[in-house]
């Protein structure tokens, strides 16, 4: 055996080993990695399907959920204004605001009914009130408005200080909104 045959055989064996390593690293390992990733995805999907199946079975098994929803809808309906027109609802809001102002010892200067706004299945009926107060009476007035049995919100509030040196008295412009069902909604 000559030296060139030995070199050729070494080169062929070395090339075969390098080819086997490259085949292992770039073909066989990625193939098995993809298979294991697919198996992991399948396992994750099975777990997800089981989770949603259990959730659906629990939802079907609890008939009280629908009655809870109906009870909540009744509670919301009780807090809405039931006047035949927006003007009647605005008058009811004015009565509530006047009562809260009397309890808070406030003198309302101006009350103005604003344009109503449609919000989903409801109509917001806002009124604007302007009055003077101090912070203690204002706090009491706002708590009376927000804790009323009817659903009232204060979407806008502007505060102006009369005397910057003695900021005790403030002038307020407040928008108070009540809500009623929009006509034609069958809820």
The DSSP result for 48-87, as a single string, is HHHHHHHHHHHHHH-THHHHHHHHHHHHHHHHSB--SSHH
Expressed as residue numbers, the domain containing 21 is: 1-61
* One domain, residues 42 and 107: no
Report, as an integer, the average pLDDT of 65-73: 76
Q: Provide the pLDDT confidence category of residue 186 given band limits of 50, 70 and 90.
A: very low
Domain total of the chain: 2
* One domain, residues 106 and 156: yes
Q: Provide the pLDDT confidence category of residue 128 given band limits of 50, 70 and 90.
A: very high
* One domain, residues 87 and 176: yes
What's residue 187's pLDDT?
46
* One domain, residues 97 and 175: yes
What's residue 3's pLDDT?
64
pLDDT, the chain, mean = 86
What's residue 64's pLDDT?
64
- The pTM score is 0.61
Residue 130 pLDDT > 90, yes or no? yes
């Amino acid at each position: 055996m000559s030296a060139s045959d030995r070199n050729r055989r070494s080169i062929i064996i070395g090339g075969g080993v390098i080819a086997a390593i490259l085949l292992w690293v770039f073909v066989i390992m990625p193939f098995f990695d993809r298979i294991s990733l697919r198996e992991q995805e399948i396992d994750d999907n099975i777990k997800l399907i089981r989770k949603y199946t259990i959730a659906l079975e629990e939802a079907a098994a609890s008939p009280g959920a629908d009655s809870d929803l109906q009870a909540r809808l009744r509670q919301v309906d009780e807090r809405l204004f039931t006047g035949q027109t927006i003007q009647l609802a605005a008058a009811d809001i004015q009565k509530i605001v006047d009562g809260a102002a009397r309890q808070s010892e406030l003198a309302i200067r101006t009350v103005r009914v604003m344009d109503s706004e449609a919000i989903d299945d409801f109509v917001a009926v806002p009124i604007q009130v302007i009055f003077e107060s101090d912070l203690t009476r204002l706090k009491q007035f706002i708590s009376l408005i927000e804790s009323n049995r009817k659903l009232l919100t204060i979407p806008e509030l502007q505060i102006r200080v009369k005397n910057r040196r003695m900021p005790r008295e403030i002038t307020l412009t407040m928008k108070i909104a009540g809500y009623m069902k929009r006509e034609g909604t069958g809820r």
